[in-house]
Amino acid sequence: MNNKKLNKKFSHNNKWRYLIYYAILAAMIIFIINEYMNGLKSQHIKYSDFVKAINQNKVSEVQISKDKLIIIPKVKNDANKGKVLYTERIDDPDLVKKLDSAKVKYGGIPQENSAIKGFFVNWVLPFIIIAFLLQLFLGKLNKKMGSGVMSFGKNTAKIYAESETGVNFKDVAGQEEAKESLVEIVDFLHNSQRYVEIGARLPKGALLVGPPGTGKTLLAKAVAGEAKVPFFSISGSAFVEMFVGMGAARVRDLFQQAQEKAPCIVFIDEIDAIGKSRDGNVSGNDEREQTLNQLLAEMDGFDSSKGVVILAATNRPEVLDKALLRPGRFDRRVIVDRPDLKGREDILKVHIRGVKVSPDVDLNSIAKATPGAVGADLANIINEAALRAVKNHRFQVNQGDLEEAVEVIIAGKEKKDRILSPEEKQQVAFHEVGHALVAALLKHTDPVHKITIVPRTMGSLGYTMQLPEEEKYLNTKAEMLDQICVMLGGRSAEEVKFNSISTGAANDIERATQAARRMVTIYGMTDRFDMMGLESMQNRYLDGRPAQNCSAETASIIDEETLKIIRMCHKKARALLKDNIELLIIISKRLIEKETLMGDEFMGIIKEYKEKKKEESSKGNLISD
Ligand code: ADP
Ligand code: MG
Ligand code: ZN
């Protein structure tokens, strides 16, 4: 918007014209100042007054120059305020006589020979000073406009400013949930006035969290593009390389610039580089800490009603300093996860837009072949395929090119990014459906919200998410047992279906054991120990682990009791799944197809299955009748 106008004004072509304007302006200012200063220092009097002053013995010295007489009075009274008086030198042959008789000293002007110096002091020096100030001002301006606009400020910050990112939400595919939560920010940037008028407190910042290459940077730019506001970005790692004190200064600079350009977006990429937790690291990195503190201070200090929104991205949210996540800072989190099947297909569609393709191309099958791939991988695959087509002297990309590219990109990544093989995918699918199905079949459990086998960087290969219907502060024993059954449902499904088990249950096992143990030691839920407290949570804040306060023998009985609970729950989960193995298979197949099932879809499948069963059995009854 007005940013663009400024860009134009200071574009390279007009640079010299503006310099000349400034030079003329400076010359005029200096002239006026010189005149004014002279006026302050000296005052003109009439020759007759001069003669009178001599006669009254008021003159101490007279300096005679070519065209004027400079008179230094004896008494510095109020009238002349210590000013030097001067008068014209007129033809007065008696002047010397008059001066002699009044005993006035006289001579030439002592500094008259230093006209060059005077010129220097009065003209050149101010000019240099003004030029220097101008340079400073323009340097700042230059930084504000981003690099490359007017590059005579040295060492401009590594802050990238774009007046228009040219990226829109439609360029970001497969991140519908993330986009949904960012729409609000776009709207806010668009009509910040409306929010201010109604008195709403505006969001200050959002943290984009997700594995590398999923489109976090892209999304941030898209928010700026959608809202049509300037985009300032800086990378967290750029701060770390800097000299001491520079990081904090740059943060200050960034926010200052942003506020002048509001509404706008400030994007801090890789914020974990500066935002790492401050405590628990003894060596300490002063520079980073200073930078982080400055960032926190700026975030608290600035006025969000102006329409500055801060976005930050990280793929390691767990290392971030808690202070960053407090309300009023990055209080919103937007998860930018690996795309599922449909998402991958959409991303492929986005990237194939500019590429000529033959009619045989089937992006759906490419999406199917790339579970776990992120947006950056898919963009790479399209590009690789196009390169291959050129290499083979074709004018269109065909399916073979794409398939080959999948091999190159995926094999090139050596599975280190957890791209699942079909067998693994199946195992993971049954495991997750195991959790979900046990949850659905038991009474005291939370409803299933989402099942997915899209691998996560932050944790397991898939997950089942349950959301309680209402906030809960108390759990009954029955609920705790059912929850443990759900946790063990994943492994149980693997057993029931494949008769082989995998390492995928490690986290489930840990959580289930912990829960069972607490039932024994803290919640008094076993007959064996009745209401005896065996662990205390006193030192929870020291190392987070409850302390056992019992004898060694009791400790081993605790283990036994814990194992008993686990055994019981495991058996129950396995039995449930065995009884419902048809349902397990149906749902797992659907999950493998779609990669993500939402809760209502999942319940729909179960309901449909049960109705079918009912029909069948009533038909069966009819026949047997
Ligand atoms: P991140 O910042 O999460 O590491 P980037 O935003 O830098 O990932 O993504 C790198 C590139 O991958 C993008 O420039 C874009 O070409 C492609 N890409 C990633 N995610 C998507 C997506 N969801 N839709 C379209 N393209 C994507
Ligand atoms: Mg990025
Ligand atoms: Zn599991």
Q: Is 54 in the pocket of ligand 1 (CB under 6 A)?
A: no
Distance CA 174, CA 83 (A): 81
- Phi and psi (nearest 5°) for 70? -100, 125
What CATH number did the domain enclosing 48 receive? 3.30.720.210
Among the residue ranges 103-117, 134-148, 365-379, the one predicted with the least confidence is 134-148
In a domain, 601, yes or no: yes
User: Is residue 442 within 8 Å of residue 576, measured between CB atoms?
Assistant: yes
Closest-CA residue, ligand 1 atom 14, reads 218
Sign of CA dihedral 85, 88, 94, 97: positive
Which ligand 1 atom lies nearest to the CA of residue 376?
Answer: 12
Q: 470 C-alpha vs ligand 2 centroid, how far in Å?
A: 37
Distance CA 89, CA 28 (A): 30
Distance CA 312, CA 550 (A): 48
Distance CA 534, CA 362 (A): 62
Asked if residue 305 and residue 163 are part of one domain, the reply reads yes
Q: Is 217 in the pocket of ligand 1 (CB under 6 A)?
A: yes
In a domain, 393, yes or no: yes
* Domain end position, chosen among 151, 177, 195: 151
Give the model's pLDDT for residue 540. 43
Asked if residue 428 and residue 405 are part of one domain, the reply reads no
Asked if residue 180 and residue 143 are part of one domain, the reply reads no
Place of tokens 């930018």: 336
In a domain, 618, yes or no: no
Instruction: Choose the most confident range, by mean pLDDT, from 281-290, 314-323, 345-354, 398-407.
Output: 345-354
Q: What angle do CA 168, 169, 170 make, to 5 degrees?
A: 90
Q: Is 230 in the pocket of ligand 1 (CB under 6 A)?
A: no
In a domain, 388, yes or no: yes
- Would you say 422 is a known binding-site residue? no
Give the model's pLDDT for residue 295. 84
Asked if residue 451 and residue 388 are part of one domain, the reply reads no
Give the model's pLDDT for residue 26. 80
Range of the domain at 324: 158-277+288-335
Asked if residue 90 and residue 165 are part of one domain, the reply reads no
Q: 152 C-alpha vs ligand 1 centroid, how far in Å?
A: 34
User: Is residue 73 within 8 Å of residue 58, measured between CB atoms?
Assistant: yes
Where are the alpha helices (H) located in 145-285, listed in sequence order? 176-190, 192-198, 216-227, 236-240, 246-260, 272-275
Say if residue 312 is exposed, middle or buried (CB neighbours under 10 Å; 0-12, 13-18, 19+). Answer: buried
- Would you say 39 is a known binding-site residue? no
Q: 166 C-alpha vs ligand 1 centroid, how far in Å?
A: 14
Closest-CA residue, ligand 1 atom 12, reads 376
Asked if residue 183 and residue 146 are part of one domain, the reply reads no
179 vs 548 pLDDT, higher one: 179
How confident is the model over 11-56, as pLDDT tens digits? 444 566 777 777 788 888 888 887 777 766 777 888 888 888 888 8
- Would you say 513 is a known binding-site residue? no
Closest-CA residue, ligand 1 atom 11, reads 376
Q: Which ligand is nearest to the CA of 507?
A: 3
In a domain, 127, yes or no: yes
DSSP 505: G
Q: Is 208 in the pocket of ligand 1 (CB under 6 A)?
A: no
Give me the chain's average pLDDT, please: 80
Q: 327 C-alpha vs ligand 1 centroid, how far in Å?
A: 28
Q: Which ligand is nearest to the CA of 377?
A: 1
In a domain, 625, yes or no: no
Q: Is 375 in the pocket of ligand 1 (CB under 6 A)?
A: yes
Cis ω before 126 (30° cut-off from 0): no
Nearest to 110 by CA among 74, 64, 67, 73: 64
Asked if residue 499 and residue 574 are part of one domain, the reply reads yes
Asked if residue 71 and residue 24 are part of one domain, the reply reads yes
**In a mutational test of the pocket of ligand 1, which residue from 179, 180, 218 has the highest number of ligand atoms less than 8 Å from its CB?**
218
Instruction: Choose the most confident range, by mean pLDDT, from 65-79, 226-240, 264-278, 388-402.
Output: 388-402
Q: Which amino acid is at 523?
A: Y
In a domain, 417, yes or no: no
Distance CA 99, CA 104 (A): 5
**Which residues have CB atoms below 5 A from the ion given as ligand 2?**
217
Q: Which amino acid is at 482?
A: D
How confident is the model over 179-217, as pLDDT tens digits? 988 998 888 888 878 888 888 777 788 999 988 899 999
Helix (H, G, I), strand (E, B) or coil at 45: coil
**Which residues have CB atoms below 5 A from the ion given as ligand 3?**
490, 508
Give the model's pLDDT for residue 587. 96
- Would you say 417 is a known binding-site residue? no
Q: Is 178 in the pocket of ligand 1 (CB under 6 A)?
A: no
Give the count of domains, the chain: 4
What is the total residue count of the chain? Answer: 625
Q: Is 454 in the pocket of ligand 1 (CB under 6 A)?
A: no
* Residues belonging to the active site: 432
What CATH number did the domain enclosing 575 receive? 1.20.58.760
* Domain end position, chosen among 359, 385, 410: 410
Q: 216 C-alpha vs ligand 2 centroid, how far in Å?
A: 6
Which ligand 1 atom lies nearest to the CA of residue 339?
Answer: 23
Residue by residue, DSSP assigns 273-309 as HHHB-STT-SS--HHHHHHHHHHHHHHHHS-GGG-EE
User: Is residue 188 within 8 Å of residue 307, measured between CB atoms?
Assistant: yes
Asked if residue 566 and residue 426 are part of one domain, the reply reads yes
Asked if residue 134 and residue 31 are part of one domain, the reply reads yes
* Domain end position, chosen among 124, 151, 178: 151
Among the residue ranges 310-314, 559-563, 569-573, the one predicted with the least confidence is 310-314
Asked if residue 294 and residue 145 are part of one domain, the reply reads no
Give the model's pLDDT for residue 525. 92
- Would you say 210 is a known binding-site residue? yes
Both tokens of residue 402? 């794409």
- Would you say 126 is a known binding-site residue? no
Q: 617 C-alpha vs ligand 1 centroid, how far in Å?
A: 52
In a domain, 282, yes or no: no
What CATH number did the domain enclosing 270 receive? 3.40.50.300
Q: How confident is the model at residue 417 (pLDDT cuts 50, 70, 90)?
A: low
Which ligand 1 atom lies nearest to the CA of residue 174?
Answer: 23
Q: Does pLDDT of 588 surpass 90?
A: yes
Asked if residue 398 and residue 264 are part of one domain, the reply reads no
